[in-house]
Structure 1
Amino acid sequence: MTHRYRRPIAALSALSALAASLLLAATPAAAATTCTPVQILAFRGSGETALSTGYTGTTVKTSGWEGKTLSRALQSYATQSRGKTAPNPRIDEVPIVAVGPNQFGTGKGYPAVAVPKTADVGAVKKTLGDSARAGAVSTAEYIDKTVAAQTAAGCRSPKFVVLGYSQGAIAARWLTQLRPKNIALSEIFGDPLQFQSQTGNHGNGAGGNGFLRYVSTDDEKRTDNGYYSVSGPSKSAVCHTGDPICDYNWLLVGVLALVLHQDDEHYNYVLQATETAQEGQTISRTVADLLAAAERPKSAAGQLAPEPERNYTDDIDIAEWMTAETTVVNADSSAALLPPVTATPSSAAQTAAPSEPRTQSSSIGTSGPQGITVRNGQTLRLTAGSIPAGQQYGFRIAPATADGSWKLPALLTSGVATSTGGPQYVDVTIEGLEPGTYSGGVLTESFTHTPDIAITVVP
């Protein structure tokens, strides 16, 4: 990758706050001498120093260069991978390489330099670009050497999970573009180069553009857009509304936020319980799949046999899922869907057997075949079909979403029940919800879920 971010641009008076906004961290690790089918690479934020060296739930040690934000994500990964039904109980075999300043030799690593205290935005771009590029190029060389050493030793070619925060998100992006065939997941936070509404963007700032993207030339933007079109790696990018680094605009979330030091949203990634669980699960599931793939036998043609889609039961049990703070990751397979939820007014449903789900009653008023309209204080009977006997399940009402499924946290829950087989129902009283449209659905303990029903609450 050629050097970028050299063109001077107009200065902004907000750079002192930008210095407090672009942050990241990572750790060193020696070239592998044994088969390590999966490795995690972590790129910290600007100016972050070495931190912790280990995580509860695994014996893996790091050099501490992952920084505060990525250390929280990695602890969640370790926690999600160590439960009673964890998808990846072998995480002790997965090295965490937190890429430090001299990770791979003198001058070969990721310096994660602090943001210069200058109003010259061109100088800031060059400084951060040089630092991130050094990390990406040095780590690409490490990947090449690791792959060569392991394949020469008879190991399968390893895959890498790449994490990056703030300046480290730039390094992670550029590394992913340099070595897409070797990388399985790029998971980044507070990305200064974020492009709005791309696949993998999530969080309430997913539709924002990064600060450095805003001040990039058209050629630079085209180069960075290549990250989104590169095939192979999965991409996950979390951005908070109000984070002036990934959700920047010229006024409220941009200059004013920087000038007034309103950048808290850039520092609180992987702190809220739902986000923490989701990001940890994303890493854990990817690692679990990679470890499983490494164990699959090769066919006569030397290719890995295809692996059927998997339904995970994570270490978060169904009782925990029925709490408002718990995040549920997607179901991973459209085949995992249960029959849709139906809803009736409870007063009209008292004589309806679970095996006879009824459609919405016009006595309350409906919004169509996939929805029902209610008022606070009224009770609905929610019914879902064909839940296998013995499965634990629960009904949840959550904010409505464009795709109608798996968007949490829950606003109302039914608690947990055990299916007796076939259709199951529960009566839920609608209370405490502001007027608007919500989604009602059911989860089971094996990550199956129903297509949601729209529940509209009227005054």
Structure 2
Amino acid sequence: MVGKRWGAALAAVVVAASGLIATSGSAGADVLGLGGSCPAAVVIPARGSGDPVASQQYGNSRSDGYEGPLLSTLLAATYRDDPSIASIPVVTTGPGYRAVSVPEGTANRSFGISIASGVAAVIARYDAVSAAGGFGCRPKAVLVGYSQGAAVVRAAAIALAPRRVVSAVMLFGDPRQRPSAPGVVGAGSTGSGVWRDEGVALASGVSTVGIETYYQLPGLQRWALCHDRDPLCDFGPDADFAGDPHKTYLQPDQLFVPAAGQAPTSQTELQVAVATLRGFIAGATRR
């Protein structure tokens, strides 16, 4: 029953968002300076629960800030001193994705509706870029999500799968993580996402229906970083429910751990994440 209600909410929000594309989609793309050109690829980030908004410059495009601070750190480092990707726009979800805060989402069991709004926003912004690029414009999409935003871009990749436009997905603190799934890295790589627990999912207003579909999508490059004891992606009795492991992704001194039980490397998480994202963007432009 919960799955059906969540599915209905998703459908309703997607329909509502599709009505906005015709009126505001092209204008949104023009604000990013696309100027009617069709980019080879587009990067679409989705922020975490309640993340603040601040506009940023990435290559030749300026975002509206709805990527949030963590993904802003990643994107700024990725685009810095790399002219080869300067023309690949970063197009956020915009305000259409609610990204409800943890207190609000918990109190109102509204995470499912918020995620649905994010999926609709990802699709709407992708369609806006395509429309601005003219007839036949179908750029490859690289989706990046943190926390609740990870759930958003996972679901968006599934929704866009019939179009075959999503090239890669990058996740941080994924609340739907499958233990040791393809592309899962970090000291918490064997952890299970909090929204894989039926009771927690029910209390949060989200559904576990089709949760494995993401891992079955063909031709999709996946990378997901999970910290040890992160209560979102490494949920269990030993999780740090103060949430500290969930708040320290890409910190300057945070060394990269390839997998649970392995020693840290000499590279930082940010260095590895930047190299991975640059590779995903380069791969998308070649497809």
What TM bracket, shorter-length normalisation?
Answer: 0.7 to 0.9
1:63 aligns with 2:64: yes
Q: Displacement of 1:2 after TM fit?
A: 5.9
Q: Displacement of 1:117 after TM fit?
A: 5.6
1:280 aligns with 2:274: yes
What amino acid maps onto 1:164 in structure 2? G
Candidates 183, 187, 192, aligned match of 1:204: 187
Question: Which structure ranks higher in relative contact order (CA pairs < 8 Å, sequence separation ≥ 6)?
Answer: 2
In structure 2, C-alpha distance between the alignment counterparts of 1:226 and 1:266, rounded to whole Å? 25
What are the within-5 Å matches in structure 2 for residues 95-114 of structure 1? 95-101=89-95, 109-114=96-101
In the other structure, the counterpart of 1:252 is 238
In structure 2, C-alpha distance between the alignment counterparts of 1:166 and 1:53, rounded to whole Å? 20
Give the match's secondary structure for 1:94. coil
> What residue ranges of structure 2 are gaps of 5+ in the alignment?
9-26, 255-266
2:184–2:226: 8 Å Cα contact kept in structure 1?
A: yes
In the other structure, the counterpart of 2:20 is none
Q: Displacement of 1:268 after TM fit?
A: 0.8
CA shift in 2, pair 1:159/1:192, >3 Å: same
In structure 1, C-alpha distance between the alignment counterparts of 2:207 and 2:50, rounded to whole Å? 24
> What residue ranges of structure 1 are gaps of 5+ in the alignment?
7-27, 83-88, 102-108, 294-459
In the other structure, the counterpart of 2:17 is none
Structure in which a larger fraction of residues adopt strand:
1
1:128 aligns with 2:111: yes
Supply the RMSD in Å over aligned alpha carbons. 2.6
Give the match's secondary structure for 1:235. strand
CA shift in 2, pair 1:65/1:148, >3 Å: closer
What amino acid maps onto 1:252 in structure 2? D
Where do 4+ consecutive residues of structure 1 move more than 6 Å? none
In structure 2, C-alpha distance between the alignment counterparts of 1:169 and 1:97, rounded to whole Å? 16
In structure 2, C-alpha distance between the alignment counterparts of 1:5 and 1:183, rounded to whole Å? 21
Candidates 123, 127, 134, aligned match of 1:140: 123
1:41 aligns with 2:44: yes
- Identity among equivalent positions (%) equals 31
What are the within-5 Å matches in structure 2 for residues 195-344 of structure 1? 195-214=178-197, 215-216=200-201, 220-249=207-236, 251-253=237-239, 257-258=240-241, 261=242, 263-271=243-251, 272=254, 274-293=268-287
Give the match's secondary structure for 2:281. helix
In structure 1, C-alpha distance between the alignment counterparts of 2:278 and 2:94, rounded to whole Å? 23
In structure 1, C-alpha distance between the alignment counterparts of 2:88 and 2:5, rounded to whole Å? 32
Q: TM-score, normalised by structure 1?
A: 0.49
In structure 2, C-alpha distance between the alignment counterparts of 1:202 and 1:166, rounded to whole Å? 15
In the other structure, the counterpart of 1:72 is 73
1:208–1:248: 8 Å Cα contact kept in structure 2?
A: yes
Candidates 190, 194, 208, aligned match of 2:173: 190
Give the match's secondary structure for 2:43. strand
What amino acid maps onto 2:154 in structure 1? R
Q: Displacement of 1:75 after TM fit?
A: 2.0
* Structure index of larger Rg: 1
Aligned residues: 242
Q: Displacement of 1:52 after TM fit?
A: 4.3
2:29–2:132: 8 Å Cα contact kept in structure 1?
A: no
What amino acid maps onto 1:283 in structure 2? L
What amino acid maps onto 2:188 in structure 1? G
In structure 2, C-alpha distance between the alignment counterparts of 1:40 and 1:117, rounded to whole Å? 28
Give the match's secondary structure for 1:248. coil
For residues 211-246 of structure 1, what are the alpha-carbon distances to aligned partners after superposition, in whole Å with 9 as ceiling and x for unaligned? 1222337x9434111111111221111100011111
